A = this chain, B = another copy of it.
Amino acid sequence: MNNGLERIRLTSLHAKVMSAEQAVQLIQDGMVVGMSGFGGAGEAKTVPLALADYAQTHPLKITLATGASLGNKIDQKLGEAQALSRRYPYQADPVLRKMINNGEVMYVDQHLSSTADDMRHHNLPRPNIAIIAAIAITEDGQIIPTASVGNSANFAEFADQVIVEIDCTINPVLEGAHDIYVAPSRPHRGPIPLTQSHDRIGTIGIHINPEKIAAIVMNDIPDSSFKMDEADEETLAIAQHLIGFFEQEVALGRLPDNLGPLQSGVGSIANAVFAGFEHSNFKDLEMYSEVLQDCTFKLIDAGKMKFASGCSMTLSEQGNAHVMKNFDRYKDKIILRPQDVSNNPELIRRLGTISINTALEFDIYSNVNSTHVMGTRMMNGIGGSGDFTRHAHLAIFVSKSIAKNGAISSVVPMVSHVDHNEHDIDILVTEQGLADLRGLAPRERARKIIDHCAHPSYKEALNDYFERACVRGGQTPHILEEALSWHAQFEETGQMKAS
């Protein structure tokens, strides 16, 4: 393991190198632990996995805060070891999800821009210990993050002690790609001095007092790679509707030629949209987003995208190999930032980001459910979708119009859980079409959403509900005893439609 020592360039820290098993001893029952990791990239691995092992025989429970989701099944293994009492702000692990839905782990589903600020100002406890993956520690003690920044800089600042995991699997070319800006505390803080997606406002690494570094552990487990579903007929249709809409908005002078900064959630639909850009006439595209995926780099390769800002790179195995091999080509075209910069309301509104996120379901009045299957069971979490949607220049949600071979309509009379409400949504898109809702009242939205977005097999039932609700009246007509009956029926019969 010692062949990573050259990455610890502040040589006085060499004395702090220890095994994961030794480092784990620093973690006590009841602690708040802040870990790096966002979008399944850039997490610490050796220490958390050693902690999961240790907890099998030495029961302990921690509160685990991260950037977002972790790779390498760390959430699963900590969950199975009964080591998690509380988890925030996001997760995407099937095993942990089940524990959360059983009420075994208290899951606090948060806007990803909020966690650090909440810790900073004492709305959440600060971490006792932070475990941060790093490419290297510089001569002046800066911790260089790996494939994600997430909340690492803030956790390292707030924590009493820091464990650094030197990730020897990460290509050192990535050093310099990060821009670490940690917002000051109230009451004396000024604006975040970023006015363009490509602005650098911080340092290349995380500055903390090196004395807080309690342990350094070498890691040789690589980040997980991300497997992206191939585009299908529906996702391609969604992409085409969106690109057609963007073209029209540019023609009308309502969007700049390059559309302005783009944000996209992780997933196959977003990937299809970005693939659509590859074959469009748009150029000089830029991203101000969370996660940079394979499609970001493909657009750069195709000469379509001039810059991409995010807080994480979540790549396929092939994509990662390609990006690392050719990193010189990307170095001045990407920046990785802390998530309370990438997702900051101040900046998203200033820049005028177009946000494209995936809905689980939306209703005829444009309320969106991003998180809860049938209103109760957590899927993953709201992630950054709220940060972007509320402040975007154009807030767009996409979804296939049906799921489970038509047993579920993604367009419903009333969503079973509201993550984004009617006040915030501009555009909804399914493979059926695009509904431009700007400036419309709820009754007008209903007509447009049913006409443009609903699947033909559900249109009649939606129109029937809407028309009967209108007889009762109201700004947002509903038949309360029926509003959630589609979901209730699905729970009972596995099918939303009346038989």
Which residues of A pack against B, CB within 8 Å?
86, 88, 100-103, 106-111, 117-118, 121-125, 186-193, 195-196, 252-254, 256, 260, 345-346, 349-352, 367, 372, 374-378, 382, 386, 390-391, 393-394, 416-419, 421-424, 426, 438-441, 443-444, 469-470, 472-478, 480-481, 483-485, 487-488, 491
- With A350-B189, A352-B186, A419-B421 in contact, do A481 and B475 touch (Cβ < 8 Å)? no
Across the interface, do A345 and B391 meet the contact criterion of CB distance under 8 Å? yes
Complex Cα distance A374/B479, Å?
10
Q: Are the C-beta atoms of B418 and A475 separated by less than 8 Å?
A: no
> Contacts of A443 on B, CB cut-off 8 Å?
103, 106
| Residues of B with C-beta under 8 A to A472 | 376
From B102, B351, B474, B484, contact of A378 by CB (8 A) = B474
15 A–B contacts from the bound complex (CB under 8 Å): A106-B443, A106-B444, A109-B423, A121-B254, A123-B254, A125-B439, A189-B350, A190-B195, A345-B391, A372-B475, A377-B473, A378-B475, A378-B476, A417-B476, A419-B423
Tell me the interface secondary structure of chain A in the complex.
loop
Number of copies: 2
Asked if B346 and A123 sit within 8 Å, CB to CB, the answer is: no
Q: Are A123 and B393 in contact (CB under 8 A)?
A: yes
Contacting pair B473 A367 (CB below 8 A): no
User: Which of B187, B195, B418 lies in contact with A421, CB distance below 8 A?
Assistant: B418
CB pair A376 B473 closer than 8 Å: yes
Which 7 pairs show the lowest CB-CB distances between chains A and B? A191-B191, A376-B474, A378-B475, A418-B418, A106-B441, A122-B254, A346-B346
Q: What residues on B are CB-neighbors of A193 within 8 Å?
A: 191
Q: Which residue of B lies closest to A253 (CB)?
A: B122
A380 to chain B, nearest CB (A): 11
Within the complex, the shortest CB–CB distance from A258 to chain B, in Å, comes to: 9
Query: Shortest Cβ distance from A102 into chain B, in angstroms?
Result: 6
Are A345 and B349 in contact, with the CB atoms below 8 A? yes
Taking a contact as CB atoms under 8 Å apart, the answer to whether B187 and A260 are in contact is: yes
Please name the residue on chain B nearest to A436 by beta carbon. B123
